[in-house]
Amino acid sequence: MNAQEFLIKNRISYSHTNENLEIILKGLNPSKEDNILSICGSGDQAFLMVEKGAKVLAVDKNKLQIEYSQLRLKSLFKKDFEDFVIPKNNQFYSPLTYKDSWGEYSKKLNLQNLIKNRKNINFLQGDIFNPGVNLSKFNKIYLSNSVEHSVFVDNHLENDFFGKFNSGSRVYCVMHDSFNELFKNFKIPLLNSGFKRNISFPKNYGKDDTWNYFIYEKK
């Protein structure tokens, strides 16, 4: 079964991202020196980071999202780029047309880099806030809007998650406006763990019609 057949059979939640991938690139600046802990979802963001040379562990609670992304990776190994990208006219492609979301960005993919770096990605089914791996080895963390879908206790985040990352680590997350109060509570353990808002990433830059984007770095 390939990725498109898997979509037809399972009708999974996320076939592609609806985030702005150019903002993710600017915010995380992934490179071959990076080891990134990432939400999996459709796999788009993780593949984006791998294209730039980073090593990525993509985590998702949803088994179907992991299986879908693994099938996309298999298509990449087979050089079946149509199945890997999944054309925009596919009936399960998100109807949303955000600037620089996957539909546009996939046209600019360096497939040769992806093929060369394809072994840099691994997948894990689980909770990104409690993945059961050594967190200190990751220097960048891509959370997407996972805060909106997680239940956690502040001191757990402070002691067992954010507190495990080393100085210089960077966290990237997004949030809908309607979750502003939740994000205020989320920031408490983040700040208490030594993370500070990256002011070199302009506040008004990371905003589009749907998402607010935030970058924090550990001092």
Q: What is the pLDDT of residues 72-106, one digit of tens each?
A: 999 989 988 888 887 544 444 443 344 456 666 66
Contact yes or no for 42/10 (Cβ under 8 A): no
Q: Among candidates 64, 79, 68, which has minimal Cα distance to 46?
A: 68
What is the pLDDT averaged over residues 61-71? 95
Give residues with Cβ within 8 angstroms of 86, minimum separation 6: 3, 4, 7, 15, 16, 72, 92, 93
Token digits of residue 9: 């059979």
Q: Domains, the chain, ranges and CATH?
A: 3-218 (3.40.50.150)
What is the pLDDT averaged over residues 165-182? 84
Going by pLDDT thresholds of 50, 70 and 90, the confidence category of residue 202 is low
Q: Which backbone phi and psi does 215 adopt, to 5 degrees?
A: -120, 130
**The residue to which tokens 């993919």 are assigned:** 109
Classify strands 121-125 and 55-60 as parallel, antiparallel or unpaired: parallel
Establish how many alpha carbons lie within 13 A of residue 79's alpha carbon, considering only the half-sphere containing its beta carbon: 4
Going by pLDDT thresholds of 50, 70 and 90, the confidence category of residue 54 is very high
93: amino acid identity, one letter: Y
Going by pLDDT thresholds of 50, 70 and 90, the confidence category of residue 207 is low
- Lowest-pLDDT range, 9-13, 70-74, 176-180? 176-180
Helices (H) and strands (E) in the chain, counts: 9, 7
Which 3 state secondary structure label does DSSP give 47?
helix
Contact yes or no for 208/162 (Cβ under 8 A): no
